[in-house]
Structures are given as structure tokens and as C-alpha cells.
Structure 1
Amino acid sequence: MNRNTVRTLELGAEDIPSLLVENVDHYRVRGPAVVVNPHPEPVLLDVEPRVTIPALSSTILADTTIVGAPSVLVLGLPDRPAAEVVRAPGWHPLGELLPPPDPADPTEFPRHTPLWKGPQDGAGTARLDAPHLLGERPDRGAEETYEIRVNLWYAPAGTDCAIHNRHDFIEVHTQIAGVGRMQKFHAHDHRTLYQDIPMAPGYTTPQPFCRTAPGGGYRYPWHQYRADTDCVWLAVEYHRPAR
């Protein structure tokens, strides 16, 4: 199998060059770039003293060699305002992508929310033992191959991107531009905030929020992304194989 196989990720943002590098073997990141490790094992860098990119985490690298990894995501840092990414083809307000709202459901996504989703692309696979990854048991057991899907999001400064608790996949988020935060709530109510996680460029929420649920799904707490400034962030989704 060829080493350092590079493919462009089609994320609809020319100002954010985005690459999937597979079968990583002493791959040089010229940078500066956000490098995401989408796997449950740390990724070693060729520096002294020893430095790793932890599991499901990221950092900003420049002129640094990655010793080895099944794959990494490499995203350039934009040098233009975050708001300009949504001018590219394939970006849509999230409200346009959802089915018609249910007026009887108070947790429905508010369609006026200024939240844009970019095109999604596949980013290879990862071998995961979900209960171990999510902290439900200490020892790693049988693993399954999960499909990785990625896309960029944009929201302007001051946007609450809507409290929700439903996903049929495992996800983490990586900040690309601007300053935002991931927030958790006891209920579908901003007054019940109990955890606030600041996010600057290069930071990934390394611990997925969810737990496994009966029937193979996932249970999420009430959570949302909030944009303190104009923000672009990357969603990294892990989709379980169909049974």
C-alpha cells in the first residue's frame, strides 16, 4: 500500500485547503495548518522532546514531520474573513436542508438561525471500540470500522447554533477560524448551562459528548456550538456500519 497518499477534501472552501493523508509515514507538514488525528491512538511527531497529537484531537503544525498514522486531516488556516467561506458553491443555511418543521415540537431547530453548512466529504475510516472510546469501559474490546465524514460550518459572531441532543453518529469538532465554544445543558434551556468549552483555532473537543444507547444508537446531552466571533469549524463524524 502506497505511503502518504494525499487526497483533496471537497469542503467548499478554497481559502481553507483541506487534505486527507492516508498511510502516513514521515509526512512533512509545511503549514501552518490544523492537523486532526481522527483515530483512537496518538500520532507521534518527529520532534524532541517527544510530542504526540492525542486520539481524536488536533494541533497547529508548521514545518513538522508526522512519524506515522493510519490517516490525518490537514486544513490550512484561512487568511481572509471567516464569512467569505459561505460564498462558495455547496453552502446552505441549515434551515434549508432540514425537513419541514413540526410546530408541536419545542426542540425544533429555529429556522432563522444564521448557521451555514458546507458540503460533506468522506475522509476514510477508523477502527473504534465505541464503549471504550466513550469511556464506558476501561479495556478496549472488539473494534468495528466506522466511516469518517467531515464538513465545515460557519456562524457569525454572537450566534447560538441551537441546543439539540440528537445524532445518529459519534462526532467531535475542530476550530478552524475565529473563537467559539461547545456548551452542554441540563435541559433544552440556555439557563441550564453546566459546561462551557472555549475553542480557538487548532483545538478539537477530544472527548465525544455521547454514550452508546440500546439498539446501537447514541445518547447525547443537550448541547450546542456558540460563535463568539465569526467562526468556521470542522465537524468530524463517525458513522457506524449498517447492520
Structure 2
Amino acid sequence: MSQNTVRPLDLGTPHMPVLLVENVDHYRVTGPAVVINPHPEPIHLDVAPPVTIPALSSTILTGTTIVSAPSVIVVAATDATAADVLRAPGWHLLGDLLPAFPKDTPLWKGPQAAAGSARLDAPHLLGERSDRRPEETYGIKVNLWYAPAGTDCAIHNEHDFIEIHTQITGVGRMQKFHARDHSTLYQDIPMAPGYTTPQPFCVTAPDGGYRYPWHQYRADTDCVWLAVEYHRPAR
């Protein structure tokens, strides 16, 4: 693959271009843009004193060069309103996609796109052991979500993949619970634009899947955030 291969990701946001840049070598981010490092190693910026974007993390960059990386996801900053985002093709109320999901919860899901791959040693990444062992190639999928201010996006604990979340616009929070009950909240993680939850919430399960605590996203203001999913190889 040639250096700095750029591929637009169709996430249903013509007002907010999203790019996958692969085989990164001194790639200049004009910005401002949210830049996500979807890999388990930090990536370095060409600035002094030295700065990195940590593993599975993100930041907002303007006029900055990324020295090298397997890939990065670049989400352009925008002043587009939520109405502009939701008018784009491919966006759906989650209750229309999942019959069991409450239709009165105003949670919207944008179209999903493949965003390359990452080499992961999942048990090490998830903090289950300190030593690193052979890695496997996980496929990366991404999509945007939107919820208006004050929305609780439903407490749940099931995913067949590893995931992290990046705040794009607005202010929200990821929350963890002891049970499927808001009164059992035990961790509240504030999220402002450019912030990613760097530690996935899950652990590996005996069947090769993943076990999650009860958790949800909550929108403090009108919010757009990016879900980054890591799908394990077929067994």
C-alpha cells in the first residue's frame, strides 16, 4: 500500500467529512479535526516537545503532522446543526431498526463503514494479563450516533465486539451501572469533543466473545459521537 492512502468513509455526514488515512507517513492534518488512533500503540506528532496520541485515543489537531501510524481516522470539525446531520441518507431512529428498542428514545444511528483493521492481543489490551502474546487482525467498523440534550440512550450489556467511543460534537458521558437501573450508577465518564474512552469496558468471555458491564451513553447537550468497533476474526 502506498503511503498516506486516503479513503473517505461514508457515515452519512456530507457536512462533516470523515477520512481513513492508512500507512501514515508525515501526514499533515490541516484541521481543525478530531483525529482517532484506533491502534494499541501510541502515534507521534511532529512537534516539540514530543506529543503522542495514546493507544485507542484521540485529540483535536490543527496544522499538525502525524509522523507515522498504521492508520488514523480524521473527522473534520463542523458547525453543522443536528438537523443537517439527520437529513443525510442512511440515518435511522434506532427504534425503527430494532423493534425491541423503545421508539420514544430519540437515539439516531448513522450508516456504518469498514475502516481497515488493527492487530490486537485482546486479553492484554483489556488488562487481563500483563504479558503480550501473538496478535490477531480485527476488522474495524465505525458509525456516528446522535442524541438530543437530556437523552438516556438505554442501559445495556451486550456487544459481540470490542468498542470505544469518541465525542465529536456536544458534551455527553459514558456511564456504568451495577444493574439495569439508573440508581446503581458507579462510574460517570464526561466526554467533550475530541475525547475517546481509551479503555474498552469489556473483558473476554469463555466462548471467545466479550462480557460488558451494564452501561449507556447519556447526552448532556445535543451530541454526535463516533462508535469504533473491533470485530474478532472468524473462528
Residues 185-233 of structure 1: CA distance to partner in whole angstroms, max 9, x if unpaired? 0000000000000000000000000000011100000000000000000
Runs of 4+ in structure 1 over 4 Å off: none
Among residues 112, 117, 128, which one is paired with 1:125 in the alignment?
117
User: What is the correspondence of 1:151-190 to structure 2 with a 5 Å cutoff?
Assistant: 151-190=143-182
Among residues 102, 105, 115, which one is paired with 2:107 in the alignment?
115
d(CA) in 1 for partners of 2:163 and 2:120? 13
The corresponding residue for 2:45 is 45
Residues 58-111 of structure 1: CA distance to partner in whole angstroms, max 9, x if unpaired? 00000000000000000011112234211111000011111x43xxxxxxx323
d(CA) in 1 for partners of 2:16 and 2:130? 38
Residues 83-140 of structure 1: CA distance to partner in whole angstroms, max 9, x if unpaired? 4211111000011111x43xxxxxxx32321000000000000000000000000111
The corresponding residue for 1:33 is 33
d(CA) in 2 for partners of 1:197 and 1:140? 28
8 Å CA contact 1:83–1:156 kept in 2: the answer is: no
Percent identity, aligned pairs only, is 80
TM value normalised by structure 2: 0.99
The corresponding residue for 2:72 is 72
Q: 5+ residue gaps in structure 2?
A: none
The corresponding residue for 2:183 is 191
Give the secondary structure class of the aligned counterpart of 1:232. strand
- Of residues 152-161 and 110-119 in structure 1, the stretch that sits farther from structure 2 once superposed is 110-119
d(CA) in 1 for partners of 2:77 and 2:156? 29
Q: 5+ residue gaps in structure 1?
A: 102-108
Residues 148-201 of structure 1: CA distance to partner in whole angstroms, max 9, x if unpaired? 000000000000000000000000000000000000000000000000000000
d(CA) in 2 for partners of 1:27 and 1:116? 33
